Amino acid sequence: MIATAAPIAFVGMAGVGKSAVARRVATALGVECIDIDAEVSAVRGGQSVSSIFDEIGEDEFRALETAALLDALDGACNGVRGRARRAVIATGGGVVERQRNLDALRRQALVVWLRSSDDVLADRLRSSSVRRPLLDG
C-alpha cells in the first residue's frame, strides 16, 4: 500500500490507460477516483470531450481542463466539497501541456507517468471508439 495522504495523479499519452489504471488503483486503495475528462464533461452538461473540443476549441478546452484539475487537487488536498482527502486522479492527455498544471501536480500530488510502446498506443487508439480531437488531423 502507498503511504501518502497526497492524491495520486496519473499522466501520460492518450490511450495509455490513465482512466482504467486510476479506477483500479482507487478501488484497491478504497479512495475516490477523479477523472478529469469526466469532470470537464460534467461541467458541460455531459458533452463528450471531442464535442466540447470541437465546439469551443483547444484553448478554451484546456482552460476547462486546468480548472477541473486544480479543483480536483484542491478538493483532494483540502477535503473540500466532500471529496476524500486521499484520491486518485486520471488526468487528461493534454494536462501536461500547461506549466500551471505541471506546477500544481508537482506541489500537490504523487505523479505517476504511465508509458507504453508506440505500437501498443497506436493499436489502442485505432481500436478505440473514443474520438481524440488532436489525433484526427
pLDDT tens digit sequence for 5-27? 789 999 998 889 999 999 999 99
pTM, 2 dp: 0.82
Structural domains for the chain: 8-135 (3.40.50.300)
- Integer angstrom CA distances of residue 76 from 15, 20, 33, 41, 133: 25, 19, 10, 19, 29
> How do residues 44-84 score in pLDDT, each as one tens digit?
999 999 999 999 999 999 999 999 999 999 886 665 555 44
- Alpha carbons 8 and 17: distance in angstroms, whole number: 15
